[in-house]
Structure 1
């Protein structure tokens, strides 16, 4: 029996393992998988892991892994920035809703 080593698949093996792991890179993989599909998400995650590996290697192991909460906060900021840009392109402005406004509007809805 001959063991065949697939050179194209080898860099993607660590990325495939992100299906069940928690962490910032896992969130990256899951977001890309929902948008692009599994094969492209695996390839993109493999590229990101290769860049992280090079960063660790070049800085002699000085790398701090951000947790999933940091990644989610960064992603929410990115989505909000995108919404602001889209609103500005349409000549609109995003205005944050205060908690007191939410309570007032909900009580008005129940009164009518």
Structure 2
């Protein structure tokens, strides 16, 4: 990766500049106040291809990135999930490239737990906006 992007991270002031250069950032084409397209730009970049390959491989592991990839793949198509995961990998790489340090993967279970908490919080906000209140259902104890 370093051979493709170089040793000088100051070429890219922000992570958005870096992911845009890679062609992994959504390019929103807006006209008349409406988003006509939000596809990524077609960029021939070997580093972007490496991130895409790493994203596809990460989908087969037991990490937080694999849970992210599988969740998007079930909702979107596989190519879009690969691009979104590659974008996330590129952001992680940029942070490590500029600040140094180590990457600590939180794990698939941690990601799934936080994702479920986000869904529950979203449902509670929607219920409150509609004038309802959510109450958790008691767990049934099954004795065999």
Fold-level match, TM-score > 0.5? yes
1:82 Cα offset (Å)? 1.2
Aligned partner of 2:89 in structure 1 is 49
**Higher share in helix:** 1
Aligned partner of 1:19 in structure 2 is 59
More displaced 10-residue stretch of structure 1: 90-99 or 73-82: 90-99
Query: Is residue 2:81 matched to residue 1:29?
Result: no
Conservation of the 8 A alpha-carbon contact between 2:59 and 2:65: no
Partners of 1:56 and 1:98 in 2: how far apart? 44
Task: Indicate the RMSD between aligned Cα atoms, in angstroms.
Answer: 1.8
Conservation of the 8 A alpha-carbon contact between 2:67 and 2:108: yes
More displaced 10-residue stretch of structure 1: 77-86 or 61-70: 61-70
1:65 Cα offset (Å)? 1.1
1:52 Cα offset (Å)? 0.6
Conservation of the 8 A alpha-carbon contact between 2:59 and 2:66: yes
Q: TM-score w.r.t. structure 1 length? A: 0.75
Partners of 1:71 and 1:11 in 2: how far apart? 21
**Per-residue displacement from partner, 1:23-50 (whole Å, max 9, x unpaired)?**
0000000001111111111000000000
Q: TM-score w.r.t. structure 2 length? A: 0.60
Determine helix, strand or coil for the equivalent of 1:9: helix
Query: Is residue 2:117 matched to residue 1:77?
Result: yes
Partners of 2:102 and 2:95 in 1: how far apart? 8
Aligned partner of 1:9 in structure 2 is 49
Determine helix, strand or coil for the equivalent of 1:66: coil
Query: How many pairs align?
Result: 96
